[in-house]
């Protein structure tokens, strides 16, 4: 089993909402792109929430989320894993969120794309009530999650609607 490493965050000074995954899957690591598996519904959901024509060009996707004040990162910095399933993650080490929040103090909302991201953050970082951050656990956009697309879209939409009212 090889040690796998995540990516740098997609973030800039405009970012207000941080979406956290657990760890990039095999296809994402191969292409060095967040949510590169075409069966993952992440990009489809975000484009639909913002009523925008979806792009397949990664650089355009990055520009799209930045322009909508969204940042993307993963909770896990590195780990051992066979395949793409979160259940196969071993010996994870998490990213430095203290440094991220210090560098980008305008982040107000953190959304977890799935249970593994949420559980890992809770275990290693925790939810500090003295911060001004709001946390939301979302249904995973992963193809491993069998919930219907419409249900995922509705849930993500409810959380995004509330978060975007304050930015």
Residues taking part in catalysis: 40
Give me the half-sphere count of Cα atoms (radius 13 Å) on the Cβ side of residue 163: 28
SS (H, E, C) the chain: CCEEECCCCECCCCCCEEEEECCCCHHHHHHCCCCCCCCCCHHHHHHHHCCCCCCCCHHHHHHHHHHCCEEEEECEEEEECCCCCHHHCEEEEECCHHHHHHHCCCCCEEEEECHHHHHHHHHHCCCCCCCCCEEEEECCCCCCCCCCHHHHHHHHHHHHHHHHCCC
């Amino acid at each position: 089993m090889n040690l796998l490493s995540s990516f740098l965050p997609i973030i800039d000074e405009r970012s207000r909402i941080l979406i956290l995954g657990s760890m990039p899957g095999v296809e994402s690591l191969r292409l060095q792109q967040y949510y590169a598996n075409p069966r993952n519904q992440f990009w489809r959901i975000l484009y639909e929430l913002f009523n925008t024509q979806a792009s397949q060009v990664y650089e355009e996707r990055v520009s799209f989320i930045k322009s909508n004040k969204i940042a993307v990162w993963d909770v896990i910095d590195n780990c051992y894993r066979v395949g793409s399933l979160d259940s196969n993650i071993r010996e994870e080490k998490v990213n430095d969120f203290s440094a991220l929040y210090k560098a980008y103090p305008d982040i107000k909302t953190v959304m977890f794309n799935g249970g593994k991201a949420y559980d890992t953050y809770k275990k290693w970082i925790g939810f500090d009530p003295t911060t001004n951050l709001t946390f939301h656990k979302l249904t995973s956009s992963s193809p491993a999650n069998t919930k219907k697309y419409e249900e995922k879209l509705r849930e993500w939409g409810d959380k995004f609607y509330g978060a975007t009212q304050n930015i």
